[in-house]
Amino acid sequence: MFAVKRREHPLPDLQELLHQHEKRIHTRFNKVFLVVIGSELYGDTFAVARNISAGGVLVEMTYAPPLGTVVTVHFQHVHGDELDEMVVRAEVKHHHYLNFSGSGEAAATRAIGLRFIDFVDAGERVDPARLH
């Protein structure tokens, strides 16, 4: 016959466990906006930035630079005839391949997780001829 062993301590609260295992230290903002990702090796391309925080950003791109690659992220805002730009150097820390469905059709995209390193001078604008 089997004996039932009773727990001396209750099971931990699920929310408490999730909070303990959360490694992110910065608040994230789930916004969607267009950025330019610059790379000396791969050129410059438009990308969709999502889920930004003070420590990094998730960027949907058509390709995934190798882990450890340092890129520049150009946050641009046009108002009137003026262009405001903030440029951040960032390191590729993660590759993500996202599968989803919309209107009954399967689709996929790739994204990269970037960790911000430092700000750079935005004086050098990205030449539109370099974008692909």
Number of compact structural domains in the chain: 1
pLDDT tens digit string along 78-129? 888 887 888 999 999 999 988 888 777 888 889 999 999 988 875 655 555 5
Does residue 50 fall inside a structural domain?
A: yes
Does residue 48 fall inside a structural domain?
A: yes
Does residue 73 fall inside a structural domain?
A: yes
Mean pLDDT, residues 58-78 taken together:
91
Does residue 9 fall inside a structural domain?
A: no
Mean pLDDT, residues 47-73 taken together:
92
62 closest CA partner among 85, 78, 83, 39: 39
Asked if residue 17 has pLDDT above 70, the reply is no
pLDDT given at position 130: 53
- 100 or 39: which leads in pLDDT: 39
> Which CATH number covers residue 105?
2.40.10.220
Does residue 44 fall inside a structural domain?
A: yes
Q: What is the secondary structure of 61-103 as a DSSP string?
A: ESS-PPTT-EEEEEEEEEETTEEEEEEEEEEEEEEEEEEEEET
Does residue 62 fall inside a structural domain?
A: yes
112 closest CA partner among 96, 129, 91: 96
Ranges 1-5, 16-20, 82-86, 92-96, most confident:
92-96
pLDDT given at position 20: 53
- Residue 78: phi, psi to the nearest 5? -100, 130
Does residue 126 fall inside a structural domain?
A: yes
Q: How far apart are CA 90 and CA 59, in angstroms?
A: 11
Domain limits for position 92:
27-130
Burial bucket for residue 117 (CB in 10 Å: 0-12, 13-18, 19+) = middle
52 closest CA partner among 34, 69, 68: 34
**CB 115, CB 90: distance < 8 Å:** yes
Does residue 18 fall inside a structural domain?
A: no
